[in-house]
């Protein structure tokens, strides 16, 4: 019962993280079905319709069930401890926000057993195709509504906590970057989740109540859905990465034993990225046939995103520069992030060039791009964060040898998995196809091998974390990392169930701006 009723931010943080990893596992198994089928040309195991269901469910589960709840879990655990308050502002809402998720995903997963199968229209749910979904259709829509509600409650909680409950002396420009990036992410969530909810509701009424928002025969416009979807969807991809920026900006200074370079410009760059994310949505739809002026606008604005993103990468490297670095597991994941995320940024810049995007769009080149920003990007940051804070959460150190092994294993296979997909896309392999022409065989074989190997390696992580949760390992001191600053390290490890019931005195040594 404690775990069901709990309103404690630490308990809920744990629940969110455990949930996220369960979903990563389920979504991961689906990706293995995909990579298994694509191992060689010809259809070996699954029907093409089921293949489409797998790609759709994989994406929805990874994004809404994996990455987003994992970030929310980290926010639950760390935001109150970083700004020096005792809990999130709305603890009961927090409990609800979490428990909505099992219902949402229970509903979504149950569609696998329905007549007509699970949704098979891609996570982008473009009409008219999505309207051909069988009995799963209303379940898809309602589960998305529930995920949206959960995200919004989480976001409101974070905003209210950060704005109202900081310890005296913790001014906005002294907050750790993880808190800053989450604050901005929360605003993005509040702004765009209702847009998604609106879009899918319009789908629902088109299907059941005779409206024709998106059906051409009734005077509607299928492209309008895409505009609305991507007005949500592009900020969404930043929702999936901004907290990761915050994590990396926390870990690198710790292990470089040097203050983050350009704290203020990091904050401004994050805000700039968030702002730009609202005006570039149509770069996902260059091929729908927009007027020239529209294409130019979206091309130029998309290219601009590379500037603040570049500033971030340069600042991380300047933080490392002339530091005194050690390479414990969290640092390895953070450095892996910087290196591989940058590669994803480079392919993003290539995609921004509209005439070239006409060729890249909807090919494996795009698949490679967004997986570079999402797996060695978002997911590596999440893994790094867990290694970084697990001593504080459990009071014991994780097994460093296994941690290092987990990093190197993941870093190698993730590249085997996704790098060849750049070549596949350039050579002309469309995305979301269950079978392919024989000239694409070699790189698909390599990619599939990478997928299976990467997946297997994650059990090392799970084992390591289970050991920590069981309290097996070296006891952790209050500040296990020599270079770590921040209020969370001023409390003992494991952090007591209730921290900061009395607001702490904020000492300038513990704030990010000039530790």
Partner 1 sequence: MTALTVQAEAEVAKWNMPVGVTEISREVHGLHMLIFWVVVAIGVGVFAAFFYSIWAHRRSRNPKPATFHESTTVEIVWTVLPFVILIAMAIPATGTLIKIEDSSDAEMSIKVTGYQWMWGYEYVGEDYSFYSRLDRDSDRARQVGSGIDPSSVDNYLLEVDNRLVVPTDTKIRFLLTSNDVIHAWWVPALGMKRDAIPGFINEMWARIDEPGVYRGQCAELCGRDHGFMPVVVEAVPPAEFEAWLAGKRGDEGSDTAASEPVQVAEADTGTATATDATEVAAADADADADADAEAEAPADDAASAELELAALMETGEKVYKTNCVACHQASGKGMPPAFPSLIGSAVVTGDPTTQIEQVLNGKNAMPPFGHLSDEQIAAVVTYTRNSWDNDSGVVQPADVAALRQ
Catalytic residues: 58, 87, 123, 150-151, 234, 236, 238, 249, 283-284, 309, 312, 431
- Identify which range of 87-95, 171-179, 233-241, 389-397 contacts ligand HEM by CB under 6 A: 233-241
| CA pair distance 430, 236, nearest whole angstrom | 24
Whole-number minimum distance, CB 52 to ligand HEM, in Å? 14
278-297 residues near ligand HEM, rule: CB under 6 A: 283-284
> Which one of partner 1, ligand HEM, none is in contact with 92 (Cβ closer than 5 to 8 A by kind)?
none
Find which of partner 1, ligand HEM, none residue 222 binds, CB within 5 to 8 Å per kind. Answer: partner 1
Choose among 95, 118, 117, 115: nearest CA to 105.
Answer: 118
**What is the DSSP code (8-state) at residue 363?**
B
Give 183 or 305: the residue with its C-beta nearer to ligand HEM.
Answer: 305
Q: Using CB under 6 A, which residues numbered 356 to 395 contact ligand HEM? A: 357, 360-361, 366, 369-370, 373-374, 377-378
In order, the DSSP letters of 112-153 are: GGSTT-S--STTTT-TTGGGG--TTHHHHHHHHHHHHHHHHH
Name which of residues 39 to 98 contact partner 1 (CB under 8 A).
Answer: 41-49, 52
Q: 220 and 214 in contact (C-beta within 8 Å)?
A: yes
List binders of ligand HEM among 29-88 (CB under 6 A).
Answer: none
CB–CB of 57/113 below 8 Å? no
From ligand HEM, partner 1, none, which one binds at residue 310 (CB under 5 to 8 Å depending on kind)?
partner 1
Residues 95-114 that bind ligand HEM (CB under 6 A): none
d(C-alpha 362, C-alpha 491), whole Å? 49
Q: Are 115 and 135 in contact (CB under 8 A)?
A: yes
Q: Which does 240 bind (CB under 5 to 8 A by kind): partner 1, ligand HEM, none?
A: ligand HEM
Whose Cβ is closer to ligand HEM: residue 348's or residue 473's? 348
Is the CB of residue 400 less than 8 Å from the CB of residue 328?
yes
- E strand or H helix at 366: helix 364-373
Q: Binders of partner 1 among 89-148, rule CB under 8 A?
A: 115-116, 120-122, 126, 128-129, 131-132, 134
Collect all residues with Cβ–Cβ distance below 8 Å to 62 and sequence separation of at least 6.
23, 24, 27, 374
- Which of ligand HEM, partner 1, none has residue 172 at its interface (CB below 5 to 8 Å by kind)? none
* Binders in 416-455 for partner 1, by CB under 8 A: 423, 426-428, 430, 432-439
**Which residues, numbered 235-274, are part of the site for ligand HEM (CB under 6 A)?**
237, 240-241
**Contact region for partner 1 (CB under 8 A) — 179-187, 331-339, 391-399, 448-456?**
331-339
CB 405 within 8 A of CB 460: yes
3-class SS string, 383-414 = HHHHHHHHHHHHCECCCHHHHHHHHHHHHHHH
Write out the two tokens for 145. Answer: 């509504």
Choose among ligand HEM, partner 1, none what residue 102 binds, the Cβ cut-off being 5 to 8 Å by kind: none
Interaction between residue 363 and partner 1 (CB under 8 A): yes
- Angstrom distances, CA of residue 87 to CA of 99, 243, 295, 494: 18, 20, 47, 16
Residue tagged 């749910």 (tokens): 125
Of residues 306-365, those binding ligand HEM (CB under 6 A)? 306, 309, 345, 348-349, 351-352, 357, 360-361
Total chain residues near ligand HEM (CB under 6 A): 25
Least gap, CB of 356 to ligand HEM (angstroms)? 10
Beta-carbon contacts of 151 under 8 Å, excluding residues fewer than 6 positions away, are 64, 68, 72, 189, 193
Angstrom distance (rounded) from CA 450 to CA 79: 35
3-state secondary structure 408-437: HHHHHHHHHHHHHHHHHHHHCCECCCCCCC
Please give the residue whose beta carbon sits closest to ligand HEM in the complex. 348
Minimum distance from CB of 312 to partner 1 (Å)? 11
Which one of residues 29, 163, 173, 307 is an interface residue with partner 1 (CB under 8 A)? 307
**3-state SS, residue 270:** helix
**From the list ligand HEM, partner 1, none, which binds 304 (C-beta under 5 to 8 Å, kind-based)?**
partner 1
Residues that bind ligand HEM (CB under 6 A): 124, 237, 240-241, 283-284, 302, 305-306, 309, 345, 348-349, 351-352, 357, 360-361, 366, 369-370, 373-374, 377-378
């Amino acid at each position: 019962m404690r775990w069901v009723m709990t309103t404690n931010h630490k308990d809920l943080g744990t629940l969110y993280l455990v949930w996220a990893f369960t979903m990563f596992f389920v979504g991961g198994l689906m990706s293995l079905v995909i990579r298994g089928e694509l191992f060689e040309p010809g259809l070996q195991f699954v029907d093409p319709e089921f293949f489409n269901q797998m790609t759709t469910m994989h994406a929805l589960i990874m994004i809404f069930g994996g990455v987003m709840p994992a970030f929310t879990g980290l926010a639950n655990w760390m935001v109150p401890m970083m700004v020096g308050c005792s809990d999130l502002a709305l603890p009961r809402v927090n409990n609800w926000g979490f428990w909505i998720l099992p219902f949402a995903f229970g509903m979504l997963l149950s569609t696998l057993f329905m007549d007509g199968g699970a949704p098979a229209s891609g996570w982008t749910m473009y009409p008219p195709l999505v309207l051909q979904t069988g009995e799963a259709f209303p379940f898809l829509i309602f589960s998305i509504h529930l995920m949206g509600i959960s995200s919004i409650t989480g976001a409101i909680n974070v905003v209210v906590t950060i704005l109202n409950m900081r310890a005296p002396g913790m001014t906005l420009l002294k907050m750790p970057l993880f808190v800053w990036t989450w604050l901005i992410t929360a605003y993005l969530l509040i702004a765009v989740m209702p847009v998604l909810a609106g879009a899918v509701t319009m789908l629902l009424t088109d299907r059941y109540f005779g409206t024709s928002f998106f059906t051409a025969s009734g005077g509607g416009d299928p492209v309008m859905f895409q505009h609305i979807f991507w007005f949500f969807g592009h900020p969404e991809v930043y929702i999936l990465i901004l907290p990761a920026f915050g994590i990396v900006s926390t870990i690198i200074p710790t292990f470089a034993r040097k203050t983050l370079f350009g704290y203020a410009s990091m904050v401004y760059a994050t805000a700039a990225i968030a702002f730009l994310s609202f005006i570039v949505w149509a770069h996902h739809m260059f091929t729908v046939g927009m007027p020239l002026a529209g294409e130019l606008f979206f091309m130029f604005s998309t290219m601009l995103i590379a500037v603040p993103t570049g500033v971030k990468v340069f600042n991380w490297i300047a933080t490392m520069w002339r530091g005194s670095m050690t390479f414990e597991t969290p640092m390895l994941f953070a450095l892996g992030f910087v290196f591989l995320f940058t590669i994803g940024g480079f392919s993003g810049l290539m995609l921004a060039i509209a005439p070239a995007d006409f060729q890249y769009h909807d090919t494996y080149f795009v698949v490679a791009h967004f997986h570079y920003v999402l797996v060695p990007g978002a997911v590596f940051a999440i893994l790094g964060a867990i290694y970084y804070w697990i001593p504080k959460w459990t009071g014991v150190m994780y097994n460093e040898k296994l941690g290092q092994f987990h990093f190197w294993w993941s870093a190698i296979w993730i590249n085997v998995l996704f790098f060849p997909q750049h070549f596949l896309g350039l050579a002309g392999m469309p995305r979301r196809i269950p079978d392919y022409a024989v000239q694409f065989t070699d790189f698909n074989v390599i990619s599939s091998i990478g997928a299976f190997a990467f997946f297997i390696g994650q059990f090392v992580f799970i084992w390591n974390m289970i050991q920590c949760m069981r309290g097996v390992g070296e006891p952790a001191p209050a500040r296990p990392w020599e270079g770590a600053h921040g209020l969370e390290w001023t409390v003992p490890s494991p952090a007591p169930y209730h921290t900061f019931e009395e607001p702490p005195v904020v000492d300038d040594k513990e704030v990010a701006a000039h530790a």
